[in-house]
Structure 1
Amino acid sequence: MHSCTLLQDVANYQPDTLDLNTDAKAAAYWFPCFRELVGKFAKQAANSQMDDATAEQRAAQFQAAYLHQLEEHQNNIANNRGKVVLGTSELLKLNETMLRRYGFTDPWLRQKQQENASAKARLKQRLQEIDDIANEDARWTELVRGVLAGNMFDWGAQAIANILEQDSNFGLHAALERIEQRPWLVDNLDAWLERLHLSPAHKCAVIFVDNSGVDVVLGVLPFVRELLRRGTKVLLCANSEPSLNDVTSRELSELLDDCACQCDVLDSAWRSGRLLVYANGQSGPCLDMRTLPRELCDAIAANETDLLVIEGMGRALHTNLNAQFACETLKLAVIKNRWLAKYLGGDKMFAVICKYERS
């Protein structure tokens, strides 16, 4: 474990938003939810290795092992209450751990490859749409909306998986229509716009990204390009290991090799080292800032990072929603779970979190 300079109080940092050991209502919802989800994940795992005769058997073993461990967690609630935090992040990470144990290292690889190829073909058009917006506030608003709409493309969220399975043409513009309209559930966009107007450009931004395809290519990269235009160095951080359809650091580097040539700003930054990619040390879809690799911690400190952007439900809602950091922070996510939206005070599916916090 290495100390990350972004943490305001390392000793008291608690990434998890929920604790199923102390929150009975949350436990009553999430344990059945994960019991249902694991069946869908087992099916995905088996389908990802259809040329292997053992895949269905191993997928069944994965499901049984996951359900056994889930039962253990639920049975131990009384003993662990007040002693151990059991967040949804643990149950999400358990899914990845068990998949790997039974030989499924990257069940969503095919979807990621297809969605990356499709998104790359649309990047130039999206960048032109952004450039056609002359007003700076309007442009930044569309960039933030783009990140949020891109975050809809999450195969780990059942509501989104249903949409993507039923409509193969569902894309960024359709997602822009589906997300909550302003005012959002948490809406600090105006404060973010004001900061961009009144203060100098950030020295360095570290951005923790989420999904492959539309999310990272059409949502995050245009946002990154605008920061680069302001003179801000950008460190993009992606998963060290595969998790659902989240992009990995290796995949992100390959994407930038392909995408940068479509834009002079991205190309110059990628070639000169003003745009860099780092592994975030995570093997699940959430984010624990205490487990970042030394290389990333050193880069955050050496570049005097003064802006942290955390994107996605796993990293900015299931974890880090209430965490305090030592620099300006922008947390962006679409809530793709109705129970969680209501828990956080909303009443709409695809409610938006745009939480900007000064240090």
Structure 2
Amino acid sequence: MGESKCYTLLRDPSTYTPDTIDLNKDTKAAAYWFPCFRDLVAKFATQAAESQCQIDDTATERAENFRKAYLAKLDEYQRNTEINAANNVVLGIRELLELNETQLRLFGFDDPWKQQKLLENTAAVANLKKRLEELDAIDDNAARWTELVRGVLAGNMFDWGAQAVASILNEDTNFGLHAALERIQKRPWLIDNLDAWLHRLRGNAHKCALIFVDNSGVDVVLGMLPFVRALLQRGTKVLLCANTEPSLNDVTSGELSELLDKCCIHCSVLAKAKQEQNLLVYANGQSGPCLDMRTLPSELCDAIQKHETDLLVIEGMGRTLHTNLYAKFKCETLKLAVIKNKWLAEHLGGDTFAVICKYEDAS
């Protein structure tokens, strides 16, 4: 029931596929991504072990078993690419990322990034009021919305699953939103529909925005929530959707609900909207960092219909680039991401930290 209801957002459900790249058919992509995930799993295993080694002396052994099991499954995927391609079986980045979470849980690691997320959320909340004051000081509406979008994009830099960013965060513990604003691509962006979005904002407010958020900390608190606040100020209801299950440092719906309560202390707009149920948090049904629109929970699908959703905002590499970059929807759609992978950036015609700001109308 949930699937059919949520299909109403898709322009053509029969052609929807939540995978931008098919590793079974794209040999160049496969030649890059299989070795890439072999490198990544070692880092994920280290994170998993460190997250529990203080409380469980089996953590290191279990993390090593996780690594071996993941690699064995990855080898199986790679051996079978030709057979699966012949049978039209698609293998996207989504499945390899979800495999990481499945295997972590199998070996007793439910949320290796939990402590890191808590630290980053606490630090970000402390800076929320200052960020909102910076934005409110911008008198020109177009300039303010430009900075709001840039804030979402800069916030999306804070992704521990991206090696290019993890290196920066490890080397510079003071790396924050303003440093990220300087690091992302300057306009014109790789995909740059910002002017079309700004033009749309001159018109009537949207009834309801469905927003899929990404990472904890700076990303959701200092990047996305100011954007949400601005939509609320226009009179738009917001359905804020976060992961059902933990995945890397992505915020979960449970964490987001608690986080929102803390942010409301620093922002009366968010507090009023939450109290009046114009700002609602939902789980997105996902266990990995990507977004399959076919698997949204029925509760969310009901809300999408009930509130007459007419704006869809998808943020992040996993949800936007790996799964929905080319997906077409019936409602207006804004897809926002910073490409934190050099191969993927070059594949799309850009470079590391290139920006995707893709606005599509409802026609």
State the TM bucket, normalised to the shorter chain: over 0.9
- Structure 2 residue 10 is matched with structure 1 residue 42: no
Structure 1 counterpart of 2:325, from 306, 321, 329:
321
Shift of 1:7: 1.3
Poorly superposed stretches of 4+, deviation over 4 Å: none
Question: Which residue is equivalent to 1:206?
Answer: 210
Which secondary structure state, in structure 2, belongs to the residue aligned with residue 262 of structure 1?
A: coil
- Structure 2 residue 346 is matched with structure 1 residue 342: yes
- Structure 2 residue 206 is matched with structure 1 residue 185: no
Question: Which residue is equivalent to 2:28?
Answer: 25
Question: Which residue is equivalent to 2:268?
Answer: 264
Shift of 1:102: 0.2
Shift of 1:352: 0.1
Question: Which residue is equivalent to 2:137?
Answer: 132
Which secondary structure state, in structure 2, belongs to the residue aligned with residue 81 of structure 1?
A: helix
Structure 1 counterpart of 2:78, from 48, 60, 74:
74
Aligned residues: 357
Question: Which residue is equivalent to 2:100?
Answer: 95
Partner AA of 1:96 in structure 2 = E
Mapping 1:276-355, distance limit 5 Å = 276-346=280-350, 348-355=351-358
Partner AA of 2:331 in structure 1 = C
Cα deviation 1:120-172 (Å, max 9, x = unaligned) = 00000000000000000000000000000000000000011111111110000
* Gap regions ≥5 residues in structure 1: none
Mapping 1:52-67, distance limit 5 Å = 52-67=56-71
Query: C-alpha separation between the residues in 2 aligned to 1:345 and 1:14?
Result: 22
Structure 1 counterpart of 2:166, from 157, 161, 164:
161
RMSD (Å) for aligned C-alpha atoms: 0.6
Shift of 1:261: 1.8
Query: C-alpha separation between the residues in 1 aligned to 2:268 and 2:217?
Result: 21
* Gap regions ≥5 residues in structure 2: none
Shift of 1:181: 0.2
Query: C-alpha separation between the residues in 2 aligned to 1:91 and 1:153?
Result: 21
Cα deviation 1:293-330 (Å, max 9, x = unaligned) = 00000000010000000000000001100000110000
> What is the percentage of aligned positions where both structures have the same residue?
71
Query: C-alpha separation between the residues in 2 aligned to 1:295 and 1:206?
Result: 13
Partner AA of 1:108 in structure 2 = W
Question: Which residue is equivalent to 1:255?
Answer: 259
74-83 or 229-238, which deviates more: 74-83
Which secondary structure state, in structure 1, belongs to the residue aligned with residue 281 of structure 2?
A: strand
Partner AA of 1:335 in structure 2 = I
Question: Which residue is equivalent to 1:195?
Answer: 200
Structure 2 counterpart of 1:218, from 181, 202, 222:
222
Question: Which residue is equivalent to 1:85?
Answer: 90
Cα deviation 1:176-225 (Å, max 9, x = unaligned) = 0000000000000000000111x210000000000000000000000000
Cα deviation 1:20-73 (Å, max 9, x = unaligned) = 001000000000000000000000000000121100110011000000000000
Partner AA of 1:65 in structure 2 = A
Cα deviation 1:5-25 (Å, max 9, x = unaligned) = 211122211111000001000
- Structure 2 residue 231 is matched with structure 1 residue 227: yes
Query: C-alpha separation between the residues in 2 aligned to 1:260 and 1:322?
Result: 35
Which secondary structure state, in structure 2, belongs to the residue aligned with residue 277 of structure 1?
A: strand
Structure 1 counterpart of 2:13, from 10, 14, 23:
10
Question: Which residue is equivalent to 1:109?
Answer: 114
TM-score relative to the length of structure 2: 0.98
Query: C-alpha separation between the residues in 1 aligned to 2:199 and 2:3?
Result: 34
